[in-house]
Amino acid sequence: MNIHCTFGMFKIIQSVSNEDELLVLSEWESLKKLFEANRIFLVNNNDAVFGVYLAKKECMDAMNEMIKNIDYRDWDHLKLEKDHYYVRSNA
């Protein structure tokens, strides 16, 4: 899922190894507004992409907090997109 808002642009990816674990990707400044700096790690140095691992409930709480703090004038900037992907079946 991609989220675009005044806090920044975020990409949320579900972990393959753990269904309850999500990886949130964004720029350092955007992640720092929502999470403690000691939890954030560098993913890609060339593109300055950082990430933080969250449980699904923790991610939901963070998104809820983010939405509560959006200024009413910024609602036009909020955009949620869902990535489309296909799972290959062995059937």
Domain around 64: 2-81
Query: What does the alpha-carbon distance between residue 50 and residue 41 come to, in Å, rounded to a whole number?
Result: 6
Inside any domain, residue 65: yes
Please give the tally of structural domains in the chain: 1
Decide if 57 is inside a domain. yes
Alpha helix ranges (H) inside the chain: 28-34, 56-68
In a domain, 63, yes or no: yes
Task: Give a yes or no: residue 87 inside a domain.
Answer: no
Per-residue pLDDT of the chain (91 residues; tens, 9 = 90+): 777 777 788 888 888 888 889 999 999 999 998 899 999 999 999 999 999 999 999 988 888 887 777 766 666 665 656 654 444 444 4
Task: Answer whether residue 48 is part of any domain.
Answer: yes
Full-prediction pTM beyond 0.95?
A: no
